[in-house]
Each structure stands twice: as C-alpha cells, then as structure tokens.
C-alpha cells in the first residue's frame, strides 16, 4: 500500500530561495517508510528569531537550528489507522548558511533536512552511535535516490 501524505506548508520566513510545496512533498514521501500508512505533516519555514525561540523553549538550546521535528502522537498509544502526524520546522537562514559553508546547493540541503525531519517523525534518532549510523545510512540512501549527493560525504570543506 502506497503511503498517502497530507502536507501543509507555512512560510513565516523572509527568505526568497525556498523549496516549493511540490519539492517538499516529494522529499517527504521518499522518506516515509512503507509500514507508516498515511501521514499528515505541517512544514513551517521560519527565520532565525522564531527558530531560536522554538529551539530554546522545546529543547533548552538557545540558538536557531536547521530543523526541528515535533511529533503529535509521541506519548499516545498505538492506534490502528491513526496517521503519522507532526510538525517540521526549517530555519531558512541556518539552512542557507550551512549550505554555503558545506559548498552544496541550497536545494540539496533542504532535501536532506526534510528527509532528516521526516525520519525523526517516524522515531529515528541519532543520540546513540548505533542509532546515528542507521539513521545516516537511511538518509544517504533516500537523498541519493532523489538525485542528490551523499549528504555525509567526507570531501566537504
């Protein structure tokens, strides 16, 4: 059964070089695992001030970060038929700065971060080395399948 995604896109950023809704949907669908079923995800693209506020208030880290994932049903029991639900926040200035520092296209970096966020939404994490290796391997596979370079390649300067 093909996973069906319902996607909302909120642009709260002044940035001009943002991915389209169609791009985000394509990247998110590629990151959804076959056993997920349906998904309802809101993507919000923000500027640094909102990104910093969210990171501080929800993670206790007082700086803007590239991507934040908020899972709707994290503490709920598994309910058959309930779609995967959550919000993914992308901080445009941080994404732009990182892409420039890494010498990669902005589009490729947004793709990687959408994939990364959607994997977090499905329970993947990178706190422990073993988890990080599994998540990074899956990210590489998905991003490469979408036509972009390995986001963890070692030749980045």
pLDDT (tens digit per residue) in 32-87: 987 777 899 999 999 999 999 999 999 999 999 999 999 886 666 666 667 888 99
In a domain, 30, yes or no: yes
Q: Is residue 152 part of a domain?
A: no
The answer to whether residue 121 is domain-embedded is yes
Q: Is residue 39 part of a domain?
A: yes
* CA distances for 23 relative to 17, 75, 105, angstroms: 13, 30, 14
Instruction: Give the pLDDT confidence of 113-141 residue by residue, as tens digits.
Output: 999 999 999 888 888 889 889 999 999 99
* Residue 24 counted as domain residue: yes
Count of structural domains, the chain:
1
Contact of 45 with 23, CB cutoff 8 Å: no
> Residue 5 has what DSSP assignment?
E
- Residue 72's domain comprises 5-145
Whether 151 is covered by a domain: the verdict is: no
- Reported pTM: 0.91
Q: Are 49 and 15 in contact (CB under 8 A)?
A: no
Q: How far is CA 124 from CA 49, 92, 157, in A?
A: 27, 23, 27
Does residue 32 belong to any structural domain of this protein? yes
Judge whether 80 and 130 are in contact, CB under 8 Å: no
CATH number at residue 114: 3.40.390.30
List all residues 6 or more positions away from 106 whose beta carbon is below 8 Å from its beta carbon. Answer: 17, 95, 96, 99
Residue 34 included in any domain: yes
* Cα angle for residues 85, 118, 145 (degrees, 5° grid): 140
């Amino acid at each position: 059964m093909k996973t069906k995604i319902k996607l909302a896109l909120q642009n709260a950023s002044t940035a001009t070089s943002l991915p389209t809704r169609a791009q985000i949907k394509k990247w998110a669908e590629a990151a959804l695992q076959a056993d997920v079923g349906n998904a309802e995800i809101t993507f919000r693209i923000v500027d640094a001030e909102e990104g910093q506020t969210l990171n501080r208030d929800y993670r206790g880290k007082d700086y803007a970060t590239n991507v934040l994932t908020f899972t709707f049903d994290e503490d709920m029991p598994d309910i058959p038929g309930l779609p995967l639900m959550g919000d993914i926040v992308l901080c445009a200035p941080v994404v732009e700065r990182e892409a420039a520092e890494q010498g990669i296209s902005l589009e490729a970096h947004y793709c990687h971060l959408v994939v990364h966020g959607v994997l977090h939404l499905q329970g993947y994490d990178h706190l422990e080395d073993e988890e990080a290796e599994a998540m990074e391997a899956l990210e590489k596979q998905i991003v490469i399948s979408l036509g972009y370079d390995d986001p963890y390649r070692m030749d980045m300067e």
